[in-house]
Amino acid sequence: QVTLRESGPALVKPTQTLTLTCTFSGFSLTTSGMCVSWIRQPPGKALEWLARIKWDDDKHYSTSLKTRLTISKDTSKNQVVLTLTNMDPADTATYYCARMGHYYDSNGYRRYYFDYWGQGTLVTVSS
């Protein structure tokens, strides 16, 4: 049974750095093809993908946020950590981590989808 759970501060001040931890079970990030992403959702707004880490430690970031984001993993603890620097009130959102399932396209490439999500953690940025 796959589960993910986000943890971190509910309130951060502007300019501070946010650190969120995703603790998961039911799969391993050492398995070939496995990935975990972070996605956020400001109140009443749409989903925004932030970052992804793969089993081989390959990392990718949102184009608009890549200078502020860092994603890392600790496979011994089954955790993925996201940091977001220089927090602003516009970063107020529910932050989700999600496992990425995949299928193979006709060329043999993996194509991903978000098949398991954590319940999300609301982070408010305010002084």
Smaller CB separation from another protein, 49 or 55: 49
Residues that bind another protein (CB under 8 A): 37, 46-49, 52, 60-63, 96, 98, 101, 103, 105, 111-115, 117-120
- Burial label for 123, CB within 10 Å (0-12, 13-18, 19+), is buried
* Dist. CA 75–CA 65, nearest whole Å: 25
- Minimum distance of another protein from residue 13's CB (angstroms): 26
* Dist. CA 93–CA 109, nearest whole Å: 33
- Minimum distance of another protein from residue 76's CB (angstroms): 26
Smaller CB separation from another protein, 11 or 47: 47
- Minimum distance of another protein from residue 98's CB (angstroms): 8
Return the closest-CA partner of residue 91 out of 64, 44, 52, 124.
124
